[in-house]
Amino acid sequence: MTEGGNPIPPPYVLDLSILTEVARGDAGVTGLLLILDGRGQPLVLPVLAVLQASLDARTADADRALRGIGRLEHAEFAPLRDAVQAAGLASVISRTGLDQADGHVAYVADVSVCRILTMDAAKWREHAEKLDKPLHFVEYAEPDDDTNA
């Protein structure tokens, strides 16, 4: 697929670690997502991960930040649309042992064959091979804040 003659990159599915940092107001993570969106990178926000990030931060500012990321031009929320998707999510959770938020991330990434954008690669390494198709992920590590150097 192309947009304006340029190929559209495969989407990143944002995991709970990324969404929680957005909710907490992390400028580095939010800036990364703004840069990716500006480059036309599709971003997928699984709603159960958004729900958990909102619960983890539980402030009006957190909710505004999560809504703001969802309003980016190349961002899209991934809901559970029907009983078939709910059963698919249940299958992923039972096979991986992930909680509902991370299970939804894994389910969306699995069915859409997309990469997961995370700050916790170790978690996804542990579960990557537990599904029929291995999960693929990209880890974002914030630069060290070495102000004492």
The per-residue pLDDT for range 36-89, each reduced to its tens digit, is 999 999 999 999 999 999 999 999 999 999 999 999 999 999 999 999 999 999
User: Residue for token digits 């997502």?
Assistant: 33
Q: Which residues contact 41 (CB under 8 A, 6 or more apart)?
A: 9, 11, 12, 74
User: Residue for token digits 């029907």?
Assistant: 82
> Phi and psi of 12, rounded to 5°?
-100, 135
Token readout for 52 is 């958990």
The per-residue pLDDT for range 98-126, each reduced to its tens digit, is 999 999 999 999 999 999 999 999 999 99
Contact between 20 and 57 (Cβ < 8 Å): yes
> Phi and psi of 43, rounded to 5°?
-125, 130
